[in-house]
Amino acid sequence: MRLRPLFILGSSLLTAPLGGAAEAAALPTLTVVRQVSALSESEAARSYPVRLRGVLTFHDWELSFLQDASGGIFFRNIEHLVPAGTEVEIEGFTQPGRTIPIVTGPGPRGGQARIRSLGTSQWPEPVRLAAGALDQGIYDARWVSVRGVVTNVARVRDGIMLDLVSDGLLVQAAIPRWPQNWALPGYLRDLTCTVRGVVARKPVPLDGDLGPTKTVLCVPSLEMVEIAPEGLAARFDRPRQTYQKLFPSSSWDKPLVRIYGQARFARPGQGFYLFMENTANVWVQTSAPGKITPGDFVDAVGWSEIFDGRVVLTDAVFRVETSAPPAPRLTLTVSDIEADTVGYHGAAITVEGRLVEQQRNLAEDSLVVEERDILFLVRRPLLDGSKSLPVLERGTLLRLGGVCQTKRLPLQENMPATFAFQLWLTSATDVEVLQLPPWWTVQRVFILCGAILILGLLAAGWAALLRRQVARQTAVIGQQREREAVAEERTRIARELHDSLGQELVGIALQLDSAAARITESPQQAERALDMARMMVRHSQAETKRSVEDLRAHELSSTDLPAALDELVQPLIAATGSAQISLKLEGTPRRLAGIMEHHLLRMGQEAIANAVRHAQAARIEVRVRYDEREVMLEVKDDGRGFDPSEALATAAGHFGLLGLRERANKLQGRLRIESKSGAGTMISVTVPTEGDSRK
C-alpha distance from residue 193 to each of 135, 198, 240, 541, 677 (Å):
20, 16, 25, 135, 92
Residue 250 confidence (pLDDT) above 70: no
Distance of CA 107 to the CA centre of its chain: 40
Between 205 and 281, the higher pLDDT residue: 281
Q: Quick one: pLDDT at residue 577? A: 56
The DSSP-derived string for 644-684 is: HHHHHH--TT-HHHHHHHHHHHHTT-EEEEEE-TTS-EEEE
Q: Quick one: pLDDT at residue 7? A: 37
Q: Quick one: pLDDT at residue 654? A: 46
Residue 109 confidence (pLDDT) above 70: no
Residue 633 confidence (pLDDT) above 80: yes
Quote the CATH superfamily of domain 1-178+196-205.
Answer: Bacterial OB-fold (2.40.50.200)
Q: Quick one: pLDDT at residue 48? A: 94
Residue 2 confidence (pLDDT) above 50: no
- Of the pLDDT bands very low, low, confident and very high (cuts 50, 70, 90), residue 286 is very high
Instruction: Summarize the chain as % helix, strand, coil (round to 5).
Output: 30, 35, 35
Least confidently predicted of 29-38, 359-368, 569-578: 569-578
Q: Quick one: pLDDT at residue 604? A: 84
CA distance 553 to 592: 13
- Of the pLDDT bands very low, low, confident and very high (cuts 50, 70, 90), residue 113 is very high
Least confidently predicted of 22-31, 402-411, 521-530, 543-552: 543-552
Average pLDDT over the chain reads 82
Residues whose CB is less than 8 angstroms from the CB of residue 257 and which lie 6 or more positions away in sequence, other chains included: 238, 241, 245, 246, 301, 302, 303, 304, 313
- Of the pLDDT bands very low, low, confident and very high (cuts 50, 70, 90), residue 21 is very low
Residue 436 confidence (pLDDT) above 50: yes
- Of the pLDDT bands very low, low, confident and very high (cuts 50, 70, 90), residue 17 is very low
Residue 575 confidence (pLDDT) above 70: no
Q: Quick one: pLDDT at residue 610? A: 79
Q: Quick one: pLDDT at residue 19? A: 42
C-alpha distance from residue 583 to each of 227, 275, 561, 619, 680 (Å):
110, 107, 12, 11, 18
Q: Quick one: pLDDT at residue 201? A: 82
Residue 283 confidence (pLDDT) above 90: yes
CA distance 151 to 153: 7
CA distance 127 to 104: 26
**554-688 CATH choice from 3.30.565.10, 3.40.50.1110, 3.30.420.40, 3.10.20.30:** 3.30.565.10
Give the pLDDT confidence of 253-266 residue by residue, as tens digits.
789 999 999 998 88
- pLDDT above 90 coverage of the chain, percent: 38
- Of the pLDDT bands very low, low, confident and very high (cuts 50, 70, 90), residue 272 is very high
Which CATH architecture fits 330-435?
Answer: Beta Barrel (2.40)
Q: Quick one: pLDDT at residue 1? A: 34
Fold of 229-323: OB fold (Dihydrolipoamide Acetyltransferase, E2P) (2.40.50)
Q: Quick one: pLDDT at residue 14? A: 35
CA distance 659 to 347: 88
The DSSP-derived string for 373-419 is: TEEEEEEEE--TTPPPPPP--TT-EEEEEEEEE-S--SSSS---TTS
User: Once rounded to an integer, what is the mean pLDDT over residues 520-544?
Assistant: 74
Asked whether the beta carbons of 93 and 19 are under 8 A apart, the reply is yes
Residue 496 confidence (pLDDT) above 70: no
Asked whether the beta carbons of 605 and 564 are under 8 A apart, the reply is no
Q: Quick one: pLDDT at residue 97? A: 85
Give the domain ranges of the chain: 1-178+196-205, 229-323, 330-435, 443-549, 554-688
Q: Quick one: pLDDT at residue 414? A: 67
> Which residues lie across from 34 on neighbouring strands?
none
Q: Quick one: pLDDT at residue 363? A: 75
- The pTM score is 0.59
Give the pLDDT confidence of 137-167 residue by residue, as tens digits.
889 999 999 999 999 999 988 899 999 999 9
Least confidently predicted of 74-78, 129-133, 354-358, 506-510: 506-510
- Of the pLDDT bands very low, low, confident and very high (cuts 50, 70, 90), residue 651 is very low
- Of the pLDDT bands very low, low, confident and very high (cuts 50, 70, 90), residue 514 is confident
Range from 186-195, 301-310, 466-475, 566-575 that averages highest in pLDDT: 186-195
Q: Quick one: pLDDT at residue 6? A: 39
Q: Quick one: pLDDT at residue 653? A: 42
- Of the pLDDT bands very low, low, confident and very high (cuts 50, 70, 90), residue 12 is very low
Residue 72 confidence (pLDDT) above 90: yes
Instruction: Say if 229-323 and 330-435 have the same CATH topology.
Output: yes
Between 571 and 95, the higher pLDDT residue: 95
Residue 374 confidence (pLDDT) above 80: yes
Residue 498 confidence (pLDDT) above 80: no
User: Once rounded to an integer, what is the mean pLDDT over residues 86-112?
Assistant: 87
User: Once rounded to an integer, what is the mean pLDDT over residues 549-556?
Assistant: 53
Give the pLDDT confidence of 394-410 residue by residue, as tens digits.
889 999 999 998 888 88
Residue 668 confidence (pLDDT) above 60: yes
Give the pLDDT confidence of 32-56 residue by residue, as tens digits.
999 999 999 999 999 999 999 999 9
User: Once rounded to an integer, what is the mean pLDDT over residues 329-354?
Assistant: 90
